[in-house]
Structure 1
Amino acid sequence: MIRTVLGDIAPDALGVTDSHDHLFFASVKLPGQELDDVPAAEAELRAFAAAGGQALAQWTPMGLNRRAEELPALARAAGVHIIAATGLHQAANYRPEVLPRLLDGLADRFVAELTEGLRLDADPDGEPLPARAGLIKIAGDFHHLDSHAQTVFAAAAAAHHATGATIAVHLEGGTHPLGVLDELHGRHAVPASSIILGHLNRFPDTAPHREAAEAGAWLGFDGPSRGNHATDWRLFDLLTALVAAGHADRVLLGGDTTTAAARGSSGGGPGIPFLLTGIRARVIRELGTEAADAFFLRNPARAFDVDWRG
């Protein structure tokens, strides 16, 4: 089953999916660009639905203004399945006084949010909300894993083994995908099929992409991106290479809207709907409907499908 904020659904009910995006997000690294506008989030989600979108995975983890209390109402209002995240980002995204509290009993926090309910970011030790997380979001660092990442990866792996949840990984600048796989799969025995490697378009090297696909991991491409537009033009080269190599069945696509300026409804865009009106439309034209159905329908339904435990 796929765990959404309105309950568990069968994989074939998920539909056309944005596999990596943010309705709400705030980081100390992006001052003044917080995603914290509920009406704007609803407008984005409604526009996404109007473009044919049926599901969205919000990768915003604990402590970064994920607004968990708003997600069920937004899902109902727009008629879009929302998959929420537990997890923890790089230390640099948090105020120093916040991290120690979140790191205390981290694996148990992840498990509780996956099985009992999300907590408010303002009260991480409070009562669970009715909505539960459906994935674990964690992050590597540029070409390596620092001590913070190693701690978080170990907690995420423990939570995976307790629940079965998919682990979605922010790769800094798209780097270190095989090192991340080695840490989660090799060291912590997480199946590669339960790992999503995000931001691969930001480091457009096809060799590790193919190797990760051959290992059975999910390959996340999250363009268009205002923050990383310099590599966005390589997206279709990478997708074409993976399709040619027989790995269309490992690809996930998302918009990764992380700043107010990136919203189409209230900023400069291109906004969440562009993933369908721009990217998906071009996938159909250049790679065909079979590839588009794999990227937006079949693959997300498999990647987020979990035999839930706990």
Structure 2
Amino acid sequence: MSAQIRTVLGDIAPAYLGITDSHDHLFFRSPTLPGQELDDPAAALVELKAFAALGGRAVAQWTPWGLGPRLDELPDLSRQSGVHVIAATGMHQARHYDPTELTPVYDGLTELFIRELTGPGIRAGMIKISGAYHHLDEHTRHVARAAAAAHHATDSPIGIHLEAGSAALEMLELLSDTHGIRPQRIILGHLHRFPDTRIHRRAAEVGAYLAFDGPSRAHHNTDWRLLDILAALTDAGHTHRILLGGDTVTATARSTADGPGMPFLLTTLRPRIERELGPDIATAIFIDNPASAFAANWRSR
């Protein structure tokens, strides 16, 4: 069976994915962001329709287990907007959870992840895990071990929240060398927050996907370097490793509020990339690369 992308409406061939926001959130809640929850289906639909009106055809929602992914809402939103939605299982940093919620599932994460990837009902199409700031803490190692086991059981891609973009190579070493995951199945997120092009090139050389995401997050203040980073990667022959996403994690970051939201990728970033780097590179970043990064030879244990 050929590789498929697992969406909330079922598996599709990679050729049908289309223009993709490779890292975003339709729903998200965390005790670290009180009062800024993404929990309004109507607002999510408006955002998706605005993205679709610009040619957007797919969104990967990296909201993992326990942070309000609202999986039951996603199929209807996908149908109404015409946008494919890839959901996530996995686990974020411990600080994003109430310990009373975390403790009961902590030692059974592998089974939890596999169930959400392959079980009955709405299925996730990726695993999301997280690193710590410039290091790998015990929580990271515990969740990574479970994610690796779930990956080997299902072939699911793994997306990684890199705290402030740091510890990218350490995460690659943990997953690849320790747990035997091919780098081509790994997506490193938030790399624009740590704009070290040497690290970016090294990660691309071994085969990982590099996700630059977060124009909605004004406090990171590295967006102005994005085109230079992309140019450095393309000049080094790594165009096929690049992904872009919006990473909208607060209600005020949506285009319907005070932020750029999902549409910014297509109103601003894609035209700039086409103009400054070329239309073929834009096509690779928004269409070809996501179709490869999120595809899997799905299997059930």
TM-score, normalised via structure 1 length? 0.94
Say whether 1:48 aligns with 2:47.
Answer: no
Q: Which of 167, 178, 203 matches 1:212?
A: 203
- The Cα offsets for residues 184-237 of structure 1, whole Å up to 9 and x where unpaired, read as 001000110000000000000000100000000000000313254411111111
Do the aligned partners of 2:216 and 2:261 also contact (CA within 8 Å) in 1?
no
2-structure distance, mates of 1:158, 1:228:
35
Match of 2:227 in 1: 236
Match of 1:304 in 2: 294
Say whether 1:6 aligns with 2:1.
Answer: no
Cα separation, partners in 2 of 1:91 and 1:227, compared to 1, 3 Å: farther
Match of 1:268 in 2: 258
Match of 2:277 in 1: 287
2-structure distance, mates of 1:195, 1:226:
23
Match of 2:140 in 1: 149
2-structure distance, mates of 1:16, 1:225:
19
Say whether 1:138 aligns with 2:134.
Answer: no
Helix, strand or coil at the partner of 1:197: strand
Q: Which of 183, 194, 197 matches 1:203?
A: 194
Say whether 1:67 aligns with 2:70.
Answer: yes
2-structure distance, mates of 1:66, 1:287:
35
Say whether 1:225 aligns with 2:228.
Answer: no
Do the aligned partners of 1:248 and 1:294 also contact (CA within 8 Å) in 2?
yes
Q: Which runs of 5+ in 1 are unaligned?
A: 118-129
The percentage of aligned residue pairs carrying the same residue is: 60
In the alignment, residue 14 of structure 2 is paired with which amino acid?
Answer: P
RMSD: 0.8
Deviation of 1:104 after TM superposition, in Å, equals 3.1
Match of 1:193 in 2: 184
Task: List structure 1 segments (4+ residues) > 6 angstroms apart after TM superposition.
Answer: none
In the alignment, residue 99 of structure 1 is paired with which amino acid?
Answer: L
- The Cα offsets for residues 26-84 of structure 1, whole Å up to 9 and x where unpaired, read as 11111111001110000000000001100000000000011111000000000000000
Match of 1:58 in 2: 61
Say whether 1:255 aligns with 2:225.
Answer: no
In the alignment, residue 44 of structure 1 is paired with which amino acid?
Answer: E
Q: Which runs of 5+ in 2 are unaligned?
A: none
Do the aligned partners of 1:225 and 1:232 also contact (CA within 8 Å) in 2?
no
In the alignment, residue 99 of structure 2 is paired with which amino acid?
Answer: P
Map of 1:51-130 to 2, 5 A cutoff? 51-117=54-120, 130=121
2-structure distance, mates of 1:297, 1:180:
26
2-structure distance, mates of 1:276, 1:139:
27
1-structure distance, mates of 2:136, 2:9:
34
Deviation of 1:246 after TM superposition, in Å, equals 0.5
Do the aligned partners of 1:20 and 1:256 also contact (CA within 8 Å) in 2?
yes
In the alignment, residue 62 of structure 1 is paired with which amino acid?
Answer: W
In the alignment, residue 236 of structure 1 is paired with which amino acid?
Answer: L
Do the aligned partners of 2:214 and 2:248 also contact (CA within 8 Å) in 1?
no
Match of 1:121 in 2: none
Match of 1:175 in 2: 166
Do the aligned partners of 1:202 and 1:228 also contact (CA within 8 Å) in 2?
no
Q: Which stretch of structure 1 is more off in the superposition, 254-263 or 93-102?
A: 93-102
Match of 2:30 in 1: 27
Do the aligned partners of 1:223 and 1:235 also contact (CA within 8 Å) in 2?
no
2-structure distance, mates of 1:83, 1:198:
16
1-structure distance, mates of 2:104, 2:294:
29
Helix, strand or coil at the partner of 2:296: coil
Helix, strand or coil at the partner of 1:241: helix
In the alignment, residue 31 of structure 1 is paired with which amino acid?
Answer: P
Say whether 1:16 aligns with 2:6.
Answer: no
Do the aligned partners of 1:171 and 1:200 also contact (CA within 8 Å) in 2?
yes
TM-score, normalised via structure 2 length? 0.97
